[in-house]
Structure 1
Amino acid sequence: MNQKPYLSLNDVKAIAAAAEAEAQAHHWAVSIAIVDDGGHLLWLQRLDGAAAISAQIAPAKAHTAALGRRESKVYEDIINQGRVSFLSAPGLSGMLEGGVPIVVNGFCVGAVGVSGVKSTEDAQIARAGIAALV
């Protein structure tokens, strides 16, 4: 039987703490979501001052990145390049930059989604969180 790594609660807490530290270092009010490889929510944190809608968008970005096993920006780029029919892809709603998969030993074990600032900054926060696993 094949085996693969998975996110433990300690891993999730480490990712969340590092992502929060990155956001706070820049005074960015965001929501941070962490999901498992099936896109199921493991962590949701809305920092003080973050818009309420960001708590809906961050998990959607994370879900999209986990299921697609690639950054959610890939889908945003596909749509922006004219393939608007991709908006009908089943089960995906967070097709905006800011969702980053967590890859361990070649396996996608989950993803981090961030929402609340510029999309490039959302992705920066997500990557900072994931870097805590290394």
Structure 2
Amino acid sequence: MKCQIILAITISAISITIDAASNWSYTNKDTNPTTWANQFHTCGGHFQSPINLPRSGLVYLANLGKIEMSTNKKNLSAKYTVLNNGHSLMIKFPPDVHTVTLNGDADETYGVLQMHFHWGSTNRVCVVVDFAV
């Protein structure tokens, strides 16, 4: 099953094609960010993504507790959907397969339904990865 998911993601990523229905982009002069407010009214505001998160404003909260990810192995053969719309890669997970529990509290268990990988403008990228425990 893992091989099928990896293969589907790889094929989708390699065959990046912009769908004819896609009517926004980062680089096309007719559909770039300067035109978004004309096409989509809600894009004309002041609180739009991507949101810049500067390192100087980041705060580590040690008391957040742990995050546990679980997989219901009985449903692993369920159907996954991978969609590439030219702006992002979305993986739709079947219901009741993957869950995330916060702070070890069963009342804070949430189903994983989708995962998104985005690409595009990188003028404000700031990546901090720390795998230390």
Q: TM-score, length-normalised on structure 1?
A: 0.21
Q: Normalized per residue, which structure has more helix?
A: 1
Answer 1 or 2: higher relative contact order, Cα 8 Å, separation at least 6.
1
Q: TM-score, length-normalised on structure 2?
A: 0.21
